[in-house]
Amino acid sequence: MEFEIKNKDSKSKARTGLLKTQHGMIETPAFIGCATKGVVKGMTFPELQKIGTQTIIVNAFHMYLRPGLEIIRRLGGLHKYINWSKPIFTDSGGFQAMSTRFYCKIKENGIEYKNPYDGQRYIITPEKSMEIQHKLGADIIMIFDECPRYGLDYKYYEKSLELTLNWAKICKKLHNSTDQTLIGIIQGGTFLDLRKKSVEKMLEIDFPGYALGGLCVGEPKEVMYKVLDHTVPLLPKDKTIHLMGVGTPQDILEAVERGVDLFDSVFPTKTGGHGGCYTHKGLKRFDNLTGLNETTPIDPDCSCYTCKNYSSSFVTHLFKDNEIVGKRLIIIHNLTFLMNLMKNIRTAINNNEFTEFKEAFLKRYLRENKGSN
C-alpha cells in the first residue's frame, strides 16, 4: 500500500489523497462500504461500483465462522469468493466482542466467544486473527484489538489498551506479507491521555497506516470530536487515518476537517433497512405512513436511482409492506447520497473550498434535521 497526499485545505486539516493497493486506487477521503458478511446490505457489487464505491470492508471473523476459510480458499480467496475485484479491507474481529450475540469474554491471550452456529465456546487470539486475515487475502488488514464500549471506568480502558498493545505486537511480528498491509488501531476510550499513550506505543511498533477504534460507540458527538482534535495531530501526516464506525454526514465532515481520510460504518445501510434516509435537510424517516401522500422524491436534490424514478409515496408503500425493493430503494439512496458527499468533499478540498462547503452543507442539514445526524 502506498499513500500519496494530493491537496491540503489551507483553512483546516482536510486533505485529499490517493491510496494505492494491490487491487487498485482509492481516492481519499473515502467511505468504505460495510460488507460485514461479504455483502453490503441489499446491494450487489456492480450496483456499488456504479454509485462510486471504491472499496469495502469485510469482517474476517464472520467469514471465518461461515462460510469458512476452506471454501473461500477453494474458490480463489476473498476477492473471487464475493466477486469484488477492487480493494478490500478486513476487520480483525475484535469489534465483534461488543456484540452480545457472541457472549464474549476478554482474556489475556484473546477473546473467548460463543459460536452462534454450533453453540460452542472458542477463543480467537491475535495469532488466529492474523492467520484468518492472511488466508482471506484482503488488501488491507487490521490488528486484533479490544474495542470497549463507551461509559466504562478509566481502569477498564487502561487495562484494555495494554491488551490491544500486546496483541498489536504479536500481529506485527506475524505479518511479513508485502501483498497485504497491516494497520494499527488506536484505542483508549474517550480519555485523552490513554489515546496519547496508544498513539505513542503504536508508533513504536510502527504501522503503515492507523485506524481510530472505539469511537462512535455511544459517546456524545462533541466528545468524539474532542478525541479527534487531540489524537489526529499526534499521528504521522504521511499515513492514512481511518475513523472506524463513522457514517453520518455531520460526523464525516467534522472528521475530514480534522484530517481523517477513511470511514466505514453500517449506519447508511442499517438505518436504511429501518426506513431512515439521509437528505440535504437531515434524516427523514419512512417507518410511518406520513410519506404515503408525498408526490416528491425522498430528496429532490438527490440524483440517485431512487430519487430520479420514484415518489416518497411509492417508497413508503413498499417499505411499509415489507417489500425487499422498499429497503433496496432506501439503501441505494443512502449510499449514493454518501458517495456523492465524499466526492463533493474531495472536490471542495481540491478547490481549497472545504470549509465553505462544510458550512453550507451543515447549515441546511442541521437546520431542519429532527433525527440522528
Catalytically active residues are: 91, 264
Give, as ranges, the residues between 298 and 317 that touch a second copy (CB under 8 A): 305, 309-311, 313-314, 316-317
Return the range that interacts with a second copy (CB under 8 A); candidates 22-30, 149-157, 277-285, 327-335. 327-335
The answer to whether 283 touches 38, Cβ cutoff 8 Å, is no
Return the range that interacts with a second copy (CB under 8 A); candidates 31-39, 94-102, 181-189, 230-238. 31-39
Q: 3-class SS at 13?
A: coil
Q: Does 38 bind a second copy (CB under 8 A)?
A: yes
Among 176, 295, 363, 367, which residue sits at the site for a second copy (rule: CB under 8 A)? 295
Residue 281 phi/psi, 5-degree rounding, is -105, 25
User: Can you give the three-state secondary structure of 24-72, one letter per residue?
Assistant: EEEEECEEEEECCCCCCCCCCHHHHHHCCCCCEEEEHHHHHHCCCHHHH
Cα 268 to Cα 315: distance, rounded to the nearest angstrom: 16
The answer to whether 246 touches 265, Cβ cutoff 8 Å, is yes
Q: Does 360 bind a second copy (CB under 8 A)?
A: no
Number of chain residues interacting with a second copy (CB under 8 A): 37
Q: Does 342 bind a second copy (CB under 8 A)?
A: no
Q: 3-class SS at 164?
A: helix
Query: Closer to a second copy at the Cβ: 289 or 366?
Result: 289
Q: Does 202 bind a second copy (CB under 8 A)?
A: no
Query: Closer to a second copy at the Cβ: 169 or 317?
Result: 317
Query: Closer to a second copy at the Cβ: 76 or 151?
Result: 76
Give, as ranges, the residues between 45 and 84 that touch a second copy (CB under 8 A): 66-68, 71, 74-75, 81-83
Cα 33 to Cα 54: distance, rounded to the nearest angstrom: 8
**Distance of closest approach, residue 60 Cβ to a second copy, in angstroms:** 15
Residue 221 C-alpha from the chain's centroid: 17
Residue type, 63: M
Query: Closer to a second copy at the Cβ: 82 or 171?
Result: 82
Q: Does 321 bind a second copy (CB under 8 A)?
A: yes
**H or E stretch including 3?**
strand 2-8
The answer to whether 145 touches 103, Cβ cutoff 8 Å, is no
Binding site for a second copy (CB under 8 A): 37-39, 41-44, 66-68, 71, 74-75, 81-83, 292-293, 295, 305, 309-311, 313-314, 316-318, 320-321, 323-329
